[in-house]
Homo-oligomer: A and B are copies of this chain.
């Protein structure tokens, strides 16, 4: 295997773990860090890299540093903290952040990176756990064009569609657009399927029929049957969706975009949380519509 240089990965969650694995398989010498060290040790055993005691240690000597953590605050901590990535990175290295965050923190880190002589790309992903595992993620990137061009071949390790949308923050803004579209779409699908059941139709069959036409969506193709069955353990959790919608609503307050349905759907996700569905996937919106919500699901 060709040595492609040193890559660090900080945050080995359901997304980061397989993404870092793809980098290892692609020939990068890996240094990994995870808040829960056991996971980093497990990763190192599986892929042969090195688990590091801090983000700074992971970043030290790396040509590329990837982060994939929880939210704005987590990201600031692992990047700007005393033992953070920036404390270890070498001049000329590039940080690619795969966390879904506000555009504000992306611009903040881009500015801070520039001050240190680092590159920075905000690069949230879509495609879920399966996309990460299969290395076919969509990567929405923002940042300097030259820096993006240099990092794009690295991201090919786990990305299929990799697009630079503009300056720092543009990746995050594009991810917000994605989540806003999904909010209305999934609620519409939930209302349709619930109506179908109430009307005595075979709702799965209805979804199959509709899939050939103007109501078709990825969600309909992949989630309608499981929604009808009341199975909500297929990935992206309500807690995370609420975090993302919160970011969208905050940004909309700044840019003046009206989001009446996204706002409403955010409240509906709050209702799912109140019923204990924090870890259910986003298709669980249908639970709010059922007469007697049965949420006796396994929380996976």
Q: Least Cβ distance of A197 to chain B in Å?
A: 8
Q: How far is the CA of A22 from the CA of B126 in the complex (A)?
A: 43
Q: Least Cβ distance of A8 to chain B in Å?
A: 26
Name which of A41-49, A52-60, A108-116, A212-220 contacts chain B: A212-220
Q: Are A193 and B177 in contact (CB under 8 A)?
A: yes
Q: How far is the CA of A289 from the CA of B184 in the complex (A)?
A: 14
Q: Are A215 and B261 in contact (CB under 8 A)?
A: no
Query: A251 within 8 Å of B by Cβ?
Result: yes
Given contacts A182-B188, A255-B195, A218 and B218 within 8 Å (CB-CB): no
Query: A153 within 8 Å of B by Cβ?
Result: no
Q: Are A212 and B161 in contact (CB under 8 A)?
A: yes
Point out the residues of chain B lying under 8 angstroms from A216, CB to CB: 217-218
Q: Least Cβ distance of A128 to chain B in Å?
A: 7
Tally of chain A residues near chain B (CB < 8 A): 74
Chain A, 145-166, contact with B by CB distance < 8 Å: what is the 0/1 string? 0000000000000001101011
Q: Are B199 and A181 in contact (CB under 8 A)?
A: no
Q: How far is the CA of A260 from the CA of B181 in the complex (A)?
A: 17
Return the 9 tightest CB-CB contacts between A and B, nearest first.
A184-B188, A181-B192, A217-B217, A198-B257, A195-B257, A216-B218, A180-B192, A126-B213, A181-B215
Q: How far is the CA of A265 from the CA of B184 in the complex (A)?
A: 10
Query: A168 within 8 Å of B by Cβ?
Result: no
